[in-house]
Structure 1
Amino acid sequence: MDLKNLIKELEVESIYGPIDVQIDNIHYDSRLIKPGGLFICIEGFMTDGHNYINEAIENGAVAIAVEKEIHEDRVPIIRFKNTRRAMASIASNFYGKPSQLLDMIGVTGTNGKTSVTYIIKSILENYDRKTAIIGTLATLINNEKMYSARTTPESLDLQGLFRKMIDGDVDTCIMEVSSHSLELNRVDEVSFKVGIFTNLTPDHLDFHSTMDNYREAKKKLFYKTTHCNIINLDDEAGRIIVKDIKNLDTPLLTYSINNPADFVAENIHNNGKELSFDVVGPENFNIKLTLKTPALFAVYNALASIACCYSLGVPADIIADGLNAFIGVPGRFQSIDGLKEFSAVVDYAHTPDALENVLKAAKEFTKNKLITVFGCGGDRDQTKRPVMGEIAGKYSDFSIITSDNPRSEDPYVILSMIEEGIKRTKGNYIIIEDRKEAIREAVKMAEAGDLIVIAGKGHETTQIVKDRVLVFDDKQVVLEVAGEEGRI
């Protein structure tokens, strides 16, 4: 595509050099540039793309997009006020505005995003829709699984994925929309049809500083939608968002368990293995459900998904069939089969609210003791560490504090911060920094009827320690040490 056409709708600060050049590829990583490429300089948290202009030109860049004053005579330089914002528009133009050709469903909130996307996928595929998913676990397009370092990829990568979906005859994309992506312009040019808010609990405060800032970042999604916004009224932030967006032209649907809403769950029964309940909605909508995840948070995830699919015209019986057939999400309250006498569950819970929800649910059907193995990630929000320690101490009969992904931090500094919280509860605990040995200790001490909850990593199959990425899968480690200890 001609560079002039790529940028014709954008606000440009300045242009140096002729822009009648053909652009064949676009990258924000200079190492990926090929001949005929446009290199977009992004100032990141770890590095600055402006430092790699020479490398990009040597690799074949025929134009450079910048937001700093750069003097370069070899290729045209286009300066924008914000290259992240410009990249979103350029990428959308380059790939033919693909999100406008999809039914885009965006799910935001602290917890539940992944589960909601997979439930919606289950329902819509039961309605013969061809879906794709973008989120924490992976991107799924026509059974092809692609991994990303981010919950929501950069705008350039996103638009490329949307084009791949269109080329693969996908009609609906269900994606997790992180607060970072909303703040950093990754979804600026995404045409969302439906926006969903699950909940808001402390997380990412190292980036947002305050809960108000965090909520305001999430709220941006609901100004981007065209068909329907769906909000959890049992969440305080959800109620604030509803007040703030009530004058928008986009229709609103709400859901809850405890407050009047458009979709309400009633007659909830938990037998420790399954959760059954009724859902009452508008226009005589009424379905009965049985979920295989015996936890209250599963009801909220179901309600959000039901409201979404209802807004898209899916009949009630199809919604019920899709939900009843849903088998769960990898790493979300996932049971490990084959253990002798005791049970074990792995879960991705890595925020205070998520950990509390998981432990509350586990406590309801634990026949004997609840043993919790967990840690907190390094180079992430430190304020939640003592809070999570306090939650573990409050709900667990015994806790083993261990490493999660310590990254560049000293693991023992992280463990000591968690310990501050667990001490407040006078709960029983030990510290074992090595995660495998922590899981081994839990397996060794487990007695008949005990339940071990291993929280924090869920679906992840690696552990990040300093600059090393180690193979580590909680599920496999449980089975390995259980075999070694004669507990299988």
Structure 2
Amino acid sequence: MHLSELLAGQVHHVLQGDPSRAPITAGVTFDVDRVWPGSLFIAVPGHREGGPDSVTAAFARGAVAALVEGEDARLGAMVWPADKCTVRVADTRQAAAVVASRYFGEPGRLMDMVAITGTNGKTSVSYMIESALRISAGARVGVIGTAGSRIGDELIPMPHSVLSTPESPDLQYLLGHMRDRATGTVVLEATSMALLTHRVNRTFIDVGVFTNLTQDHLDDHGTMANYRNAKLRLFRGLCQQAVVNADDPVGAEIGVTMPGAVTTYALDVPADYRATDLAVSASGTHFTLHHGGHAYPAAIPFPGRYSVANALASLATCHVLGHDLDTLIAALSHLPPVPGRFERFETPEGTSVIVDYAHSPDSLDKVLATIRSYTRGRVITVFGCGGDRDTTKRVAMGRIAGTHSDLCVLTSDNPRNEDPEAILDQITPGLVSTGTPFERFADRRDAIAFALSAAGPKDTVLIAGKGSEPYQTVREELLPFSDMATARELAQEQTAARCPGGRPAAAVRS
């Protein structure tokens, strides 16, 4: 397509060249290092891999055209090759969503599109929707989020720099890829920053899902009001219908915003889909589902109230999309584990080990409350707080961990550019206030090893904060590290050390 077709109807000003003579044949990108001959380069101010200063480099790599933003004085001083086209728009991110969607043929129009937003539960709900549709209807579902992008079990390789909700050129590429492979439904995580920066625009979302709103990402948004408003963008013109958590007060705001288009779910208040009579155990939760004046027995293979809430969100979304309720309920009991979300195994000594992504005060509180409700022995918690992120939650997380645990082990959780010991210092006052004993190990492997060595039969060790992430971010490096793989390896080593001949008595059980 020519640039003029991609920009049709969009306010723009041509600085150089002719958009009708600029064929875009090699994609759209913000990243100068991903420019190929025939690309359209979009210069987003402040973008780490590009920006206005990278236009000349993009042209040198073969870009045929560039979009730039606003009245930047530097633009007037730049000299570009005469055969290149440069166009100015008011907001390159908003323009990028339109241009990228058109370049890939507006793929979102041809699939059922679901976008999930909220502080917690986005990944779990996306996995539950995919699994429920696959089990109940044999559906082919695409998933885009924190754990990467895939169609069923087929992973779609993307650069490490791609975000949980990809920038619009990458997101539209993924949607086009999924459409071309006969995907019927796509479920994507819509983060607050993605909504704020227009990444989800022009994806033609059929159902927007709201899970909850609790403290997180204040380093990005400054205030909870700003954070809430970023989340609510999904329900202000980006989706046709909404599925919302009526137990969260923000759910009522969405009902006002989208009258007649909201379906609710809840555990504590009346809702279109409500769960009561919860019976929680280590292996799962049984409950009664109420919908349309009928009561249905239901079960999920995950423990906890929050897991039931995620299941309700998933069930309601699939039903809103037109899938059969009875087969969806039957599918719930067969849902597979979500990687890094309450993922567990048991050591030969009888210690339960759980890896979970909980990295906010609310998510840590809910996971630990669930573990405490059924654990017959001690609860030992390994956790930390991410560097270069909201510092105001650190004391609260220390207090929550201490309140629910018998022993805590403080450690690094993606320290990035902060001193790991300084982060632990900021968490410590919250822990001290509870009187719960704790240890500190800046090295995460050492912390996990200590927790496992301190645990006995019937104890539960929670390793919180990173979930299925396969790396530890230290300064600008991604160092390979998996909580689950490390815990399994250390458990085997410790079992072998306790057994005559150095051989474990039994394999570690999932």
* Residues 303-382 of structure 1 aligned to structure 2 (within 5 Å): 303-382=312-391
Aligned-pair identity in percent equals 38
What secondary structure is seen at the aligned counterpart in 2 of 1:485? helix
Per the TM alignment, residue 476 of structure 1 is displaced from its structure 2 partner at its CA by 1.6
Distance in 2 (alpha carbons) for counterparts of 1:140 and 1:9: 33
Normalising by structure 1, report the TM-score: 0.96
Partner of 2:22: 21
Q: For residues 415-445 of structure 1, give each alpha carbon's deviation from its aligned partner in whole angstroms, at most 9, with x where no partner exists.
A: 1111121122222111111111111111111
> Paired residue for 2:298, among 285, 289, 303?
289
Letter in 2 for 1:143: D
Runs (5+) with no aligned partner, structure 2: 499-503, 505-510
Distance in 2 (alpha carbons) for counterparts of 1:66 and 1:45: 12
What secondary structure is seen at the aligned counterpart in 1 of 2:433? helix
Q: Is the CA contact 2:30–2:49 (under 8 Å) kept in the aligned structure 1?
A: no
Letter in 1 for 2:470: T
Runs (5+) with no aligned partner, structure 1: none
What secondary structure is seen at the aligned counterpart in 1 of 2:265? strand
Partner of 2:51: 49
Distance in 1 (alpha carbons) for counterparts of 2:239 and 2:394: 39
Distance in 1 (alpha carbons) for counterparts of 2:479 and 2:22: 45
Q: In the alignment, is residue 78 of structure 1 matched against residue 78 of structure 2? A: no
Q: Residues 259 and 473 of structure 1: is their aligned pair in 2 closer, same or farther, counting only changes over 3 Å? A: same
Letter in 2 for 1:195: G
Q: In the alignment, is residue 263 of structure 1 matched against residue 278 of structure 2? A: no
> Paired residue for 1:163, among 171, 176, 184?
176
Distance in 2 (alpha carbons) for counterparts of 1:357 and 1:38: 46
Letter in 2 for 1:72: V
* Residues 216-227 of structure 1 aligned to structure 2 (within 5 Å): 216-227=229-240
Distance in 1 (alpha carbons) for counterparts of 2:429 and 2:11: 51
> Paired residue for 1:143, among 129, 153, 164?
153
Q: Residues 24 and 48 of structure 1: is their aligned pair in 2 closer, same or farther, counting only changes over 3 Å? A: closer
Distance in 2 (alpha carbons) for counterparts of 1:448 and 1:185: 50
Q: Is the CA contact 1:287–1:316 (under 8 Å) kept in the aligned structure 2?
A: no
Distance in 1 (alpha carbons) for counterparts of 2:124 and 2:295: 22
Partner of 1:390: 399
Distance in 2 (alpha carbons) for counterparts of 1:45 and 1:382: 24
Q: Residues 188 and 43 of structure 1: is their aligned pair in 2 closer, same or farther, counting only changes over 3 Å? A: same
Partner of 1:199: 212
Q: Residues 113 and 66 of structure 1: is their aligned pair in 2 closer, same or farther, counting only changes over 3 Å? A: same
> Paired residue for 2:201, among 166, 182, 188?
188
CA RMSD of aligned residues (A): 1.6
Partner of 1:178: 191
Q: For residues 337-372 of structure 1, give each alpha carbon's deviation from its aligned partner in whole angstroms, at most 9, with x where no partner exists.
A: 444132111101011111001100000111111000
What secondary structure is seen at the aligned counterpart in 2 of 1:61? coil
Distance in 2 (alpha carbons) for counterparts of 1:321 and 1:313: 16
Per the TM alignment, residue 40 of structure 1 is displaced from its structure 2 partner at its CA by 0.8
Distance in 2 (alpha carbons) for counterparts of 1:328 and 1:29: 35
Per the TM alignment, residue 48 of structure 1 is displaced from its structure 2 partner at its CA by 4.9
Distance in 2 (alpha carbons) for counterparts of 1:48 and 1:316: 47
What secondary structure is seen at the aligned counterpart in 2 of 1:122? helix
Distance in 2 (alpha carbons) for counterparts of 1:8 and 1:15: 16
Per the TM alignment, residue 483 of structure 1 is displaced from its structure 2 partner at its CA by 2.4
Q: Is the CA contact 2:130–2:187 (under 8 Å) kept in the aligned structure 1?
A: yes
Partner of 2:5: 5
Q: Is the CA contact 1:336–1:475 (under 8 Å) kept in the aligned structure 2?
A: no
What secondary structure is seen at the aligned counterpart in 2 of 1:182? helix
Q: Is the CA contact 2:356–2:466 (under 8 Å) kept in the aligned structure 1?
A: yes
Distance in 2 (alpha carbons) for counterparts of 1:441 and 1:262: 46
Q: How many pairs align?
A: 484
Per the TM alignment, residue 463 of structure 1 is displaced from its structure 2 partner at its CA by 0.8
Q: In the alignment, is residue 99 of structure 1 matched against residue 100 of structure 2? A: no
Per the TM alignment, residue 180 of structure 1 is displaced from its structure 2 partner at its CA by 0.6
